[in-house]
Chains A and B, each alone.
Chain A
Amino acid sequence: MSEARRRPIAGGAGGATEAARLTTLPREATSMGPIARLLEDERVLGFLLLVPTVVLLGLFIAYPFVKGVWLSLTSATVGNPGQFLGLSNYIKIWNDSIFQRAAYNTFVYTAIATVGKLTLGMWLALLLNRHFRGKRLVRASMLLPFIVPTVLSTFAWKWMFDPTFSVLNWTLYHFGFIQTRIGWLTDPAMALGSVIVVNIWRGMPFYAITLLAGLQTVNPELHEAAALDGATAWQRFWRITWPLLLPVTMVVTLFSVIQTFADFQLVYVLTGGGPANATHLFATYAYQIGINTGLLGEGAAVSLAMFPMLFIIVVIQLWYIRRVEGA
């Protein structure tokens, strides 16, 4: 709403200043050196500002990426460059039952974890946006899961899920909910769920804090006006808060989806892909093939198979962002 309100004004002001700039430019130009004058040029400045990024990314990611693509087209193994095979690595993994399982797992994992993180993160942000005693402390402590190095916090979860020592089972047992233990990571049906829970636990705080910051920009007067018109809290959320938060939400979700899709550490530490491949993701399976088996070509193919799928997800999200921003 305010987006819509803001735009015409901004556009109008922009139009006005456009004219102003045309008149002021010559005056400025006389007091400037040639370099400074060059920097006034949008094209020059634009490129210059991008130089550090392009150099760093070009140096450190362009080559690995190209090399990775090349590897996936060869029969390379560790210490042996291999021969060019064309797409046969991809064909091989396409028919690989473990790969299919990993692909399925990855989609389920990403979908549930993202929705979970977004909903819970939004909810938590709304809660933290209110005034209450100990607000500072609670806000800061909510970030803790995000801060603890993943490897180490995952070890803590592993211990909590442990078939023999699970504190979760202890608690449920003592409250009389269960009689026999729950195999959090043992039961193939439970294992993926448990892994998702850990992912949500870890990622939710960042959503919450970012959305909390976004919430601060929502003008309380809008809420008050809507409340006077008789809108319920639920309606106010969907009609006012949600549209205003959407741009920030979309960017955070976008990056979170990518990260979740390519997640490695968490599963690697918790289950190593077991039991019987029930929790294998693209990344863990790629690692298993590429590193543990030394089939670099095939591992790279598994790893890169993520790319087109991610790409599709991302294109949809980007398209949605553009549409929302109403360019």
Chain B
Amino acid sequence: MAGRAGSGAGMVEGARWRKWVFFYVPLTFFVVGTLFPFYWMLVTAFRPDGELYRPWRAVNNTPFWTTHPTVEHVLYLFQQTMFATWLWNTMFIAIVSTIISLFCGLLAGYALARLRFPLAGGLGTGIFVTYLVPPTLLFIPLADIIRDFRLGDTPWSLILTYPTFLIPFCTWLMMGYFKTIPKELEECARIDGASRLRAMVQIIFPIATPGILSAGIFAFTLSWNEFIYALVFLSSPQQKTVPVGVVSELIRGDVFFWGPLMAGALLGSIPVALIYSFFVEHYVAGLTGAVKG
């Protein structure tokens, strides 16, 4: 890229200059800023413990790379902890609760955005208000419910509670998307003899795909991240999720196992990053041309 910058005729030169200042420089700033902590995790995950404890002004401090990379932390993670199981649990819980939330949010969003029925406004606000409920201490009364339904220490305790904070967002986001879809599309289908339900499922939902993906990404990430419910409702080591498992096993008293902790953070996110990278393209592309007034 840098090599090409020098070439070019006079008029383009000006444009080039502008492009650097207004595009490449800020983009680089964003890439570095966003990815640096990530890079930091990567280096820490492969850094031998001895190098970890070098103060910031030490002469032999090489914070940005390591001279003796090691895989012992990754091995530790898989051999000494149940990381693979946690990964699978988290994935399972996040996927199922995302599906449930999307399903509910999609239907509710459609109903609230498209159908006229009594109490619609009230219900919409009601769903929204549940999102305002401060979650910090919610887990205490929620524990009563988990006990009554005998869901304790099962993935279902999370699969069924996560939607409580996912559905409101999904519903409202979908409402927003449905509102931008022109009504005539649906009306045409209905003139052709499709029922209300069919028009909804076959005409409107496909158009709303970008919105569904956006809500899905959001819901999945939140369930993937959740800590306090997972901490409180699960007790067997083989049921735990990545955040809880990693924190429970890799922080012992006042000593952090930095290498495995960071390796866990990385390995826990790379599969998701791959899935997302696929979705993001699809999602951005899906929107193009779909919603044009």
Is A–B contact present in the complex under a CB 8 A cutoff?
yes
The chain A residues found within 8 Å of chain B, CB to CB, are 2-3, 5-6, 9-10, 13-14, 17, 20-21, 24, 27-28, 32, 36, 39-40, 42-43, 45-47, 49-50, 52-54, 56-57, 59-61, 63-65, 67-68, 71, 120, 123-124, 127, 130, 132-133, 136-153, 155-157, 159-160, 164-167, 169-171, 173, 181, 201, 204-206, 209-210, 212-214, 216-217, 219, 247-248, 251, 254-255, 258, 262, 264-265, 282-283, 286-287, 290-291, 296, 299-300, 303-304, 306-307, 310-311, 314, 325
| A120-B27 Cα distance, complex, nearest whole Å | 11
Task: Provide 18 A-B residue pairs closer than 8 Å at the C-beta atoms, listed in order of the A residue.
Answer: A42-B117, A53-B108, A56-B167, A57-B164, A64-B140, A65-B138, A71-B140, A127-B30, A144-B269, A147-B224, A152-B264, A156-B44, A167-B63, A201-B33, A265-B227, A265-B228, A283-B134, A299-B137
Interface centre among A60, A127, A287 (most CB of B within 10 A): A60
Contacts A50-B108, A50-B111 aside, 18 further interface pairs with beta carbons under 8 A come to A6-B182, A13-B183, A27-B193, A56-B160, A63-B144, A64-B142, A71-B140, A120-B30, A145-B37, A145-B38, A147-B221, A148-B266, A152-B265, A159-B44, A213-B210, A217-B287, A287-B137, A291-B137
Residue from the list A10, A65, A139 in contact with B184, Cβ < 8 A: A10
Which of A32, A43, A146, A201: most chain B Cβ within 10 A? A146
Given contacts A43-B117, A142-B34, A311-B132, contact A152 B246 (CB under 8 A): yes
- The reply to whether the CB of B54 lies closer than 8 angstroms to some CB of chain A is yes
Inter-subunit contact B131/A255 (CB<8 Å): yes
Binding site for A on B (CB under 8 A): 1, 23, 26-27, 30-31, 33-35, 37-38, 40-41, 44, 53-57, 61, 63-64, 100, 103-105, 107-108, 110-112, 115-118, 120, 123, 127-128, 130-138, 140-142, 144-145, 160-161, 163-164, 167, 169, 171-173, 176, 179-180, 182-184, 187-188, 190-191, 193, 195-197, 210, 214, 217-218, 221, 224-225, 227-228, 242-243, 246-247, 256, 258, 261-262, 264-266, 268-269, 272-273, 276-277, 280-281, 283-285, 287-288, 290-293
Q: Is the CB of B108 within 8 A of A307?
A: no
CA distance A159 to B39 in the complex (A): 13
Please state if A325 and B179 are interface contacts (CB–CB under 8 Å): yes
Residues of chain A within 8 A (CB-CB) of B144 are 63-64, 67
Residues in B whose Cβ lies below 8 Å from that of A206: 217-218, 221
Q: State in angstroms the CA–CA spacing of A44 and B246 once bound together.
A: 47
**Residues of chain A lying within 8 A (CB to CB) of residue B108:** 49-50, 52-53
User: B266 CB to closest chain A CB, in angstroms?
Assistant: 8
Q: How far is the CB of B220 from chain A (nearest CB, A)?
A: 9
Would you give the shortest CB distance from A205 to chain B, in whole angstroms?
Answer: 7
Of all chain A residues, the one with the shortest Cβ separation from B185 is A13
Q: Which residues of A contact B133 (CB under 8 A)?
A: 61, 64-65, 68, 307
Expressed in whole angstroms, the minimum distance between the Cβ of B231 and any Cβ of chain A is 10
Q: Say yes or no: A143 contacts B273, CB within 8 Å.
A: yes
What is the distance, in angstroms, from B200's C-beta to the closest C-beta of chain A?
9
Contact of A165 among B56, B110, B137, B217 (CB under 8 A): B56
In the assembled complex, how far is the CB of residue A151 from the closest CB belonging to chain B, in whole angstroms?
5
Question: Shortest distance in angstroms between A22's beta carbon and chain B's nearest beta carbon?
Answer: 11
CB atoms of A148 and B265 under 8 A apart: yes
* Closest B residue by C-beta to A27: B193
Residues of chain B within 8 A (CB-CB) of A132 are 23, 27
Chain B hits for A290, CB < 8 A: 136-137, 140
In the complex the two chains form, what is the Cα distance from A140 to B100 in whole Å?
A: 25
Judging by beta carbons under 8 Å apart, are B197 and A39 in contact? yes
Task: Say how far A133's CB is from chain B's closest CB, in angstroms.
Answer: 8
Q: How far is the CB of A32 from chain B (nearest CB, A)?
A: 7
Docked Cα-Cα span, A247 to B180, in Å, equals 9
- Cα(A153)–Cα(B40), bound, Å: 10
Report the Cα distance A141→B27, complex, angstroms.
13
Query: Is the Cβ of A216 less than 8 Å from the Cβ of B287?
Result: yes
- Is there contact, CB below 8 Å, between A155 and B261? yes
Are the C-beta atoms of A39 and B34 separated by less than 8 Å? no
How many angstroms from the CA of A206 to the CA of B221 in the assembled complex? 10
Closest residue to A208 on the B side, CB-wise?
B30
Question: Shortest beta-carbon distance, A307 to chain B, in Å?
Answer: 6
